[in-house]
A and B are shown apart, each in its own frame.
Chain A
Amino acid sequence: MKRALEWQIATVKAVRTETPEVKTLTLVLPDWMPHRPGQHYDVRLTAEDGYSAQRSYSVGSEPERTGEIDLTVERIDDGEVSPYLDDTVVVGDRFEVRGPIGGYFVWDSSIGGPLLLVAGGSGVVPLMAMLRHRAAAGVKEPARLLYSARTYEQIIYGEELERLARKDGLAVSYTLTRSQPAGWKGYTRRIDDAMLKEVSAPLGRNALAFVCGPTALVEVAADGLERAGLPADRIRTERFGPSGS
């Protein structure tokens, strides 16, 4: 725990474009330690005049990948940190990070249970760490992901989610709330009780739910899952917002 609180210098190993607004940075850490899927790192940028800005970003990668982590960052146009991470950072750049942090919104194979994941926008990032870990650890219990995005182009990790869903008991449902491509067969509305019931029903009432996204989505989904019969203590939430800027 102590070591996770100390700042260390991360080096950017790779930059990958996920969507027009979202990039994934692969960071090499000198003091890497395994995270629990769902945990985050704090990133601190310091200007030459000493001004510093700090933000939290969820780890998207699985802990089985040693020595490095992926942070997936959505650009907030008037943010202080994300425009730098998304537009300016190149391979070889270095900045300060500390982590892994957080113990509330985490899942790993030792916890088990059918897994119900609900994501809004870049809220999918910590849930992706859970799904990648689930695949790497060979967990057999079923998992379902309900993922809300505005448009098809704004779906993060789409191809990898399809690959994961083809092989190991993972079902992925999308809802596109703003526009849909021709022939779209997924949902086309904001997350509501009927959608949550349909997606959660096959897992039964002992599913463990993780909901991550903007506050409005998190509240609708958490309340809806309770109305669908899931006990409140089986629903964990994490709100994403402009603090991620």
Chain B
Amino acid sequence: MTEAKGDDLVLDGNAVAGTLAQIYGDEMTTVLAECANCGKVDHVGGLLAYVHAPGIVLRCTACQTVMIRIVHTPNRTLVDVRGKRIPAPPKT
């Protein structure tokens, strides 16, 4: 893992659990998120995470659509969740 090549740069939502908990005030990796593009539902902890850019990007595991974007600036934190839907509760 000392070779930072290609796919090794991809982590998962677990890696940003601390940042997400700081933003939302609670543990978020077990929360379900639905991809706004293809409808795939995953735990936030299972989404593909790209953390080596200036911001954090979480993508859909099926179609790679950007679901969550987080950028810290000196004064505030910007969160963009346009690629994510909240899944409908299971029908009883």
Contacts and interface: CB of A to CB of B under 8 A. Distances in A.
Contacts of A240: 1, 11
Contacts of A77: 2
A215 B7 contact: yes
Interface string B1-15: 110100111111111
A20 to B, nearest CB: 12
B36 interface: no
A101 B30 contact: no
A205 interface: no
Interface string B25-47: 11101100000000000011110
B90 to A, nearest CB: 14
B4 A102 contact: no
B18 A103 contact: no
Given A1-B27, A5-B22, A242-B1, A216 B14 contact: no
Given A4-B21, A104-B45, A242 B14 contact: no
A88 to B, nearest CB: 18
Contacts of B70: none
Contacts of B30: 103-104
Given A5-B21, A42-B18, A215-B10, A242 B26 contact: no
How big is chain B's contact interface, by range? 20 to 34
Interface residues of A, number: 33
Contact of B12 (A76, A78, A237, A242): A237
18 contacts: A1-B27, A21-B2, A56-B15, A56-B17, A77-B2, A78-B4, A101-B27, A102-B45, A104-B43, A105-B29, A214-B1, A214-B8, A216-B7, A239-B14, A241-B9, A241-B11, A242-B52, A243-B52
Interface of A: 1-2, 4-5, 21, 40, 42, 56, 74, 76-78, 98-99, 101-105, 121-122, 214-216, 237-245
